[in-house]
Amino acid sequence: MAKNLMIQGTMSGAGKSTITAGILRILLNDGYRAAPFKSQNMALNSFVTKDNKEMGRAQVVQAIAAGMEPSSDMNPILIKPMGDTTSQVIVNGEPIGNMKASEYYVMKNSLIPDIRAAYDRLSDEADIIVIEGAGSPVEINLRDNDIVNMGLAEIMDAPVLLVGNIDPGGVFAQLLGTVSLMTEEERARVKGLIINRFRGDKSLLMPGLQMFKEYCSIPFAGVVPYVKLDLDDEDSVSERLDNAFHTASESAKIKICVLRLPFISNHSDFTAFGSVPGANLIYAKDTADLEDADLIILPGTKNTLKDLLWLRESKMEQAVLDMAGKGTLIIGICGGFQMLGEKVDDRDNNEGGGSLKGLSLLPLSTVFDSNKTLKQVTGQIGNIEGEYAGLSGADVNGYEIHMGVTEGDRDIFPAYINGNVLGTYIHGFFDSPDLMEKLIRIIYKRKGIEDDIKIEDHILHTEKELDRLADVLRENLDMEMIYKIIGL
């Protein structure tokens, strides 16, 4: 049986996913077979494995950090919010239905055998499993049937490192309040504390660490500085969706606008634009954001009809139509692609029910059904004429995750194209450096820019960022203490 370590946080956004990924990369670099595990993840950024199973994107990044092939065993339960109190529940990589929060709360303990089985399969492959918790471990109203924080730590007999985020302030209160609300047995599992995202002179914090001993006997395992990393995020609360994250350069040559839909999913599709020199990436929240855009992208969504209605009510739809009429390049991914058609029909209430007219920029219609498409896609774009001719022959490596069947004339694999409008179901469409370079050249040519472009491979870029993260953690965490906690 593999040894383990659990990373919990004082709250959502404490940095659990990042700390987990960094420790996994350290373990890999130190010669250990390590694997990530998160029993239950609530996120709209997901991925499809080689065996066509769906899992959270954060555990994919952690798998890369550990040098392992992503597996749904690393995230046996994935919850994808659809609005109000309803979510799609995915177990072992496959959807089991849409549930109200109250329904899931009643039945989730029945999934413990699935959690144990997934963990045991990972144990056969790894020396160490690094487990990530979710949210806060002391939501006292949820303690009775917890399967992701201290309840899971007990099931797996895991020692815990507790992470607090100092960036918003109040980190000592976060840490002390969290351990104070734990039972005596739970508190005994917490073997070390980590302060994350510290900015400034660490020497000024040291007196606080000493004073904290008067209130809590759990030792500190380190203080991690704030590091801006270019890694795929877990969900729509990501700081990536804040335009302040994407600092516009004065030398920016082109403007890329992604519509900030209320139920945006898989915004990891656009991480690759961060590697494009001279590109200004904007998450557009109102019509003014779209001004002077060179490319407008309608992203994926977990509720196509609600987000289509939002486009209409916010006047974003008319703005997109006006820009399309002026010749601006428009690309739709997954749910955004469905919106570009003439009609979206959810007659069987798979995503809330109803039927709406689409933007009618592509001659196709989508009807939702109960079947979910999950598959990886690899190939090359065929010969294209017109605005997107420069994409001909580009490599495509991605995956499809969608409900519904779209009927229309698919002009060229893997896209539907109508003049300056392109739609595809493929997530990861922009991750191919070959395709991205061709797309940027198209935009440059339209603007009369003569400049060669070279894009770094997305996976290679991720590997470099993970190595950078591991270096920071190794320098600022007491790894000797952490290895002892693991039992090595």
Cα(462)–Cα(57) distance, rounded to whole angstroms? 13
Closest residue by Cα to residue 164 from 130, 135, 194: 194
| Mean pLDDT, rounded, of the chain | 93
Q: Are strands 254-259 and 279-284 parallel, antiparallel or unpaired?
A: parallel
What is the band of 244 on the pLDDT scale with cuts at 50, 70, 90? Answer: very low
Pick the more confident residue, 481 or 347. Answer: 481
Say what the pLDDT of residue 82 is: 86
Segment 186-200 mean pLDDT: 97
Segment 327-343 mean pLDDT: 97
Give the list of residues 6+ apart from residue 85 with CB closer than 8 angstroms, or none: 100, 101, 102
Q: Is the pLDDT of residue 250 over 90?
A: no
Q: Which amino acid is at 231?
A: L
Say what the pLDDT of residue 235 is: 59
Structure tokens at 288: 């003014």
Closest residue by Cα to residue 296 from 398, 420, 384, 393: 420
Cα(246)–Cα(274) distance, rounded to whole angstroms? 8
Q: Is the pLDDT of residue 49 over 90?
A: yes
% of the chain exceeding 90 in pLDDT: 82
Q: Which amino acid is at 239?
A: E
SS3 annotation, 155-187: HHCCCEEEEEECCCCCHHHHHHHHHHCCCHHHH
- pTM: predicted TM-score of the whole model, two decimal places: 0.93
Segment 464-474 mean pLDDT: 98
Known catalytic residues are 334, 427
Say what the pLDDT of residue 92 is: 98
Give the list of residues 6+ apart from residue 29 with CB closer than 8 angstroms, or none: 470
Q: Is the pLDDT of residue 69 over 90?
A: yes
Say what the pLDDT of residue 278 is: 85
Closest residue by Cα to residue 233 from 16, 406, 383: 16
- Domains of the chain (ranges; CATH) run 3-231+463-486 (3.40.50.300), 254-450 (3.40.50.880)
Cα(150)–Cα(182) distance, rounded to whole angstroms? 9
Give the list of residues 6+ apart from residue 23 with CB closer than 8 angstroms, or none: 5, 7, 130, 473, 477, 482
Q: Is the pLDDT of residue 243 over 90?
A: no
Among 172-181, 350-359, 388-397, 438-447, the least confident range? 350-359
**152, containing H or E segment:** helix 150-156
Buried b (16+ CB within 10 A) or exposed e, 145-158: ebbbbbbbbeebeb
Q: Is the pLDDT of residue 256 over 90?
A: yes
Residues belonging to the chain: 488
Segment 327-338 mean pLDDT: 97
Helix axes 57-66, 16-29, angle to 10 degrees: 20
Cα(313)–Cα(311) distance, rounded to whole angstroms? 6
Are 329 and 442 in contact by the 8 Å Cβ rule? The answer is yes
Q: Any idea of the CA torsion for 186, 191, 195, 201, to the nearest 10 degrees?
A: 150
Among 14-18, 142-146, 233-237, 336-340, the least confident range? 233-237
Segment 124-146 mean pLDDT: 95
Segment 261-277 mean pLDDT: 90
Say what the pLDDT of residue 245 is: 47
What is the band of 354 on the pLDDT scale with cuts at 50, 70, 90? Answer: confident
Cα(381)–Cα(383) distance, rounded to whole angstroms? 7
